[in-house]
Amino acid sequence: MEQLIKLNRDREHIAIITLNRPEAANALSNTLLYQLNQALQEVDEDTSIYSTIITGAGEKAFCAGADLKERKNMTNESVIDAVAYIGKTVNAIEHLRMPVIAAINGAAFGGGLELALACDIRIASEDIKLGLTEASLAIIPGAGGTQRLPRLIGLGHAKRLIYSAKPITVAEALDIGLVEQVVKKENLLYEAIKLAEIITANGPIAIEQAKLAIHKGMQTDLSSGLTIEHEAYKKTIPTADRLEGLHAFSEKRIPNYQGK
């Protein structure tokens, strides 16, 4: 089977997942999605991984979304199943226990942008475009775009992007909060790794619980969210890492967290 997903775990505590179909703009074929889900499961089960980066091969595209050539000959029922499979995969990214950084190396359209929206942080190369372009094909975003985009950038901007189906520049994406950082193309992976290293230097259990509290809290009211936060906080108290943090602080040294 052709390797459409590359999984690199050479760096300590960091996994890099690369969509590897540059000749097809890293489009989300069924085979790519199957391999991506395998990689996501491997990463989630590897307790030595504290942060994950997702990027695309090549320079032109991060991910162009669904594989429209593959979809062309599908029945209506098959198309619905294919969209559900993309949505399931995107959800799996969002529910990884550790922070996920999207290193957006090129254009991110449709399902490709929906994939990036499921990541915790988005770092993008200069001079790229992003958009939920589905309405131009007489469909709607079906892998979470109508839900995640307004939660990230607000209703007005989300409706403008979805209704118009027009891609926007990365400068505008930064301005409206669609991406958190824009860097030079040649520095993209370096900057993503640098951020991942900063994250992994912190207590991994604390980071996992912070992610859980943020995600669950955003789905409810403030009072319930504060309860979720308190329960997540309590899970950090009995850890060896918490004591290591206190000892390192008092001894004026860098802590050595073990995820325990």
The residues annotated as belonging to the active site are: 114, 134
User: In whole angstroms, what is the distance from residue 135 CA to residue 164 CA?
Assistant: 7
Of residues 174, 239, 170, the one with CA closest to residue 206: 239
Region label for 61, one of left (φ > 0), alpha (ψ between -120 and 50) or beta (otherwise): beta
Residue 127 corresponds to which amino acid?
Answer: D
Q: Can you read off the two tokens belonging to residue 4?
A: 């459409």
Of all helices (H) and strands (E), which one includes residue 225? helix 222-234
Distance CA 42, CA 157 (A): 36
